[in-house]
Amino acid sequence: MSTMTDPQPQGFRLGMLISDTRYRSYTFQFIALILLIVSIAYLISNLFANLAANGLDISWAFLGEPAGYDINQRPIEYTSQSTHARASMVGAINTLIVAFLACVSATVLGVIAGVLRLSNNWIVSKLMSAYVEAFRNVPVLIWILIIFLAMSNAFPQPRAFRGETPDATMLFDAVAFTNRGVYVPSFVNGAGSAIFWLVLLASIIGVFAYRRYAKNLLFKTGKLLPTGWPSLAILIVPSLLMYFVLGQPVTLEYPELKGFNFQGGVHMRLSLIALWFALAIYTGAFIAENVRAGILAISKGQTEAAAALGMRPGRIMNLVILPQALRVIIPPLISQYLNITKNSSLAIAVGYMDITGTLGGITLNQTGRAIESILLLMLFYLIISLSISAIMNVYNNSVKLKER
């Protein structure tokens, strides 16, 4: 269009706004803009007319008022006297907690299922297809509800653990499965525990450093260092030494049945577990498909070439196929993480106090500030989504095939 020679300049006529391609786009955009402004103005004026008719207003003051309700899972300090803003923050952190847990487990599950689905073991690959199809084709809400209801009905009550011959016993005397959630031991940090944790952290870094060194050595000299047992040794030996040198600074606190419930340890609530597992299993099925597609996208020649070099199947997968497949797998994987975060809003179905449960739930109900609360709620999810998309773009640019 633009390469055509311009027609002879002539006087501008009104009709050219429609008929001339040079001006037409301005006309259309102008009309679109006017329509948009008019319709937004119409909606907003309706909003204000409705609010005025009911004597209401838009105000954010409620965020600073005491919330008045309690939240069971409090990653940060919170009482019923804290503000609504604080309650929303607790909810936001709870959202991130369940999203993080679900992302990690969905990835593990998805990679295993995706790889096994391509296994040449017929029964295993069929089992994995059944898993993928069963979970992909049923709404996640149903899975959340089923896990929640099944656990609350099938697991014993805390009371069942009581008495001389209890109906239920704790696993290894440390983990209690009850219909209110799972109680696991927690760490109690004594004097000098900080040193112990630092040593542990250093050992983990040491493991990675050793593996890197071994890899470099392999690439440079072809000498293959063992990685399995030295890694384990680096990880365990210094920490264990430190643990006893410092006189066992970190102890485990076991959950104990006191009063109505177990006390002590970490309480993973039923709602958290139901949401976490359901999201992980459901999204795992999608990730399995992404992983499978990524692996299939790598041409068979790569596998054959690696096999011709004499590599074992495990190494072919780890060193040749997966690194290439990751380029294909990661973008859809990240959008699955996004889906997990968004689907975690279904927490409201099982009473998990995420941000939909606090800000979009009880705060909204108690204050009646529907417009403000929902606006904030959307903003929260929007920020998360946009930041994940931004990360994805950075990644995509960094792994783009660099053609030389």
Partner 1 sequence: MSDTHAQSVAFVRTTEIPPAPPPTMETGAIKWIRENLFSSVLNTVLTVLALYFVIRGVIAVGPWMLNGVWNTGSLRECREVLDGTNAACWSVLTERWNQLLFGFKYPPEFYWRPTVAFVLLLVAAAPVLFNALPRKMLILTAIYPFLAYWLIWGGTIITPIFAALGFVAAYFAFTNGERMYGFFLGLVAGVGAALITWFIGGIIADAMPGSMLEAVPSRDMGGFMLNMILGTVCVSLSIPLGIVLALGRQSNMPIIKGICVVFIEFVRGVPLITLLFVANVVLAYFFPPGTNLDLILRVIIMITMFSAAYIAEVIRGGLAALPKGQYEAADSLGLDYAQSMRLIILPQALKISIPGIVNVAVGLFKDTTLVSVISMFDLVGMIRGPILSSTDWTGIYWEVFIFAIVLFFVVCYGISQYSQWLERQLATDHR
Partner 2 sequence: MKKSVLFGALAAAGMTAGVAGAATLDDVQARGVMNCGVTTGVPGFAEPDANGVWQGFDVAVCRAVAAAVLGDSTAVEFVPTTGKTRFTALASGEIDMLARNTTWTFSRDVDLKFEFTGVNYYDGQGFMVPASLGVTSAAELDGATVCIQTGTTTELNLADFFRSNNITYEPVPIETGSEAVQLFLAGSCDVYTTDRSALAAQRANFPAPDDFVVLPEVVSKEPLGPLVRHGDNEWGDIVRWTLNALITAEELGVTSDNIEELSAGTNNPEINRLLGSEGTLGEMLGLDAEWAKRAIAAGGNYGEVFEGNIGAATNIGLARGLNAQWTDGGLIYSPPFR
For the chain, the straight-line distance linking the first and the last C-alpha, in angstroms and rounded, comes to 33
Q: Which does 122 bind (CB under 5 to 8 A by kind): partner 2, partner 1, none?
A: partner 1
Residue 150 contacts partner 1 per CB under 8 A: yes
Determine the longest span between alpha carbons in the chain, in angstroms. 103
C-beta closer to partner 2: residue 272 or 384: 272
Amino acid at 146: I
Minimum gap (Å) between residue 70 Cβ and partner 2: 5
C-beta closer to partner 1: residue 139 or 166: 139
Nearest to 94 by CA among 345, 362, 293, 397: 345
**Among residues 94, 178, 290, 356, the one that binds partner 1 under rule CB under 8 A:** 356
Residue 50 contacts partner 2 per CB under 8 A: yes
Half-sphere exposure of 166 (CA within 13 A, CB side): 13
C-beta closer to partner 1: residue 170 or 354: 354
Minimum gap (Å) between residue 72 Cβ and partner 2: 5
**Among residues 179, 193, 239, 324, the one that binds partner 2 under rule CB under 8 A:** 179
Q: Which does 180 bind (CB under 5 to 8 A by kind): partner 2, partner 1, none?
A: partner 2
Minimum gap (Å) between residue 222 Cβ and partner 1: 27
**Among residues 102, 316, 381, 392, the one that binds partner 1 under rule CB under 8 A:** 381
Contacts of 226 (CB under 8 A, 6+ apart): none
343: tokens are 């689907």
Amino acid at 4: M
Residue 366 contacts partner 2 per CB under 8 A: yes
Minimum gap (Å) between residue 193 Cβ and partner 2: 27
Stretch that binds partner 1, among 15-23, 74-82, 243-251, 268-276 (CB under 8 A): 15-23
Output the DSSP codes for 92-146.
HHHHHHHHHHHHHHHHHHHHHHHHHHT-S-HHHHHHHHHHHHHHHTS-HHHHHHH
Contacts of 133 (CB under 8 A, 6+ apart): 285
